[in-house]
Structure 1
């Protein structure tokens, strides 16, 4: 999600810019306005911004929708996501050309220029909810994997989630989150390892004669399965909070659309292949997190433990923007400012304790919410169908229509209206399906 992706992009840039750079060196996005990032750096940043743990739920989405519907769904979502990212870039370039001193650094800034305060509030609210949803999904993912690894200990998913609370509270108190950014890369490496193991298992089943293509559903007869799977696909492609920062960080900004197209083509093919092979490997037994289908051997356990460790240490990065928004709004109150600061530059001890307390409360609230989530797949589909769909499709189309208006060609205006309308319908129907169950 938005802030986590910024941190991951920063860690990727700092590690690739100099072999002597530490993970705590200044991240790319802190100097994005200078436009110093090379094509190779930006390519890596786009990859780590888009690919996350949601990809491990794609085989389950293919099981729900069917392999043919799943393939078309992933391709369509990938194309729409790429197009809407370009819309954001076009909007920022138009505003920058009209006012050279304008520096649009965030989605909220663009929303403000397009729709005023309402646009900023809506964009930032949706990103905040998306961060909360991603944080809860992290906890559910860890809980389900730990439950799978440590079977027979009498603990349920909620128990494992609450065992993590003290650790996550302590990590949320760390002031320098860039020290944790290498764990984001570590988690992505574990994602790739898990994907490789799934493909390996599929090949073994085919060679061993345990595989029958005719037993796999092409298109589900349950129409509700299509938007459910679509929500999971949208969640996997969600990286819109990073679009403006990534484009602004490039030295050669004119090459960004072509680079984005290349990366999205590769990621879309990767997602489609992985979802297809995962479903082919396990069929109707495919679980909402594909690692739960892996054999209980040391290789699979090592990958699951690695995934959990990586996510445990990147969880504070995910919740940090939530903390910032909460603390910024609390800071608007005079009583809190007096409590927190005794001068312009110094923070009182009571103020520090208040900050620690609010962060601890946030972790506990997220853990409580995660303990009530029925499953990773259902929740990811819900988040993807609601806030991710609105952020990814509805807002970019709206901003583009507002800024360009009558200057758009008929087909461009029609396409924006179509994306806007379909995004709203998808969000409404996808939410209904996720809530009532497929």
Structure 2
């Protein structure tokens, strides 16, 4: 029974359809492999191509074969010179069939495993597939002011840059066939006959008549070809575009990070990893969103992306300064009746005496009434994760924020202690869920 495999190439010589079918077939295994790599590698490496080990079993292309349990069959088995009926045949080393069936990367899996290379776009699509900013009740949707061109077929009028060559030549060919426009083969055949007759030094009367007839026929074909153009204006087709309105929902994400002296290199590294993942997620999933970066010690200031991730700074800790700076920026540039406001904050929980209560007050009475969603990530020591990981005990900032978490459904908080915690926590904070009604 033959196997039928579609190996037709796309116009760009890439079998994209077959590649996408393969990705769909091994979707879960690829996602698992990417997550395992991200837990062990740098978060920044998410934004790159990945080689994913895949088991050969289950990744083969489907094929047709006769059913083993139906129909009548006759088998002809070849003989051998090594065994007789009743002899015991030893098993081949390495399991049945001489090859292993372990997981990728386990043992000698060269026969069963292969490396599938994913592009940067494919990695990010799989990585952020089921994540999004919480889809709460939108504060405001501005009137549609932006448009995106969308292909909607063909038209007979347009600019030269939008000519569809394929459709134009198809129309031209159909018209030439219908009107029986002479082609090059007909001209070549008559020209060869004329050349043969012209070679005769003393042509007969019949040859002269044939030569004259062929010349007249060639002239007629030439006139006919001039009358029927190769490409006529009626053949030309242009790509047609329509302006597709895009809902212009204004959104802004505030990123607040503690860079004070209490944040050691480990804590700062974990915070940066979390915000790098958040930055990749926002840029990948949302085209129209502003990102505001705020760093703070005992005073807060708005910085650019480069400074936020890479500049070194230390000092005391006053967390309320970052919240006050965020409130000031909202009042100046992002009014809550126009913008959908989101925020993410990372800190080790250390704060000046009495400032944690002020932070909770600012959130309860002001910021949470303006924000669609607020996520707080506290970075704790690995030795403390077993003690404080699942309790309300901990730093003064954590205890103060718990009073906000109990009253505001659009406020979420969690803890991380090591790089492997970042992605699970990120999924928990930004997983797709049902809309939440904000409390006023």
Q: TM-score, normalised by structure 1?
A: 0.20
More helix by share: 1
More strand by share: 2
Work out which of the two has the higher radius of gyration on C-alpha atoms and give 1 or 2: 2
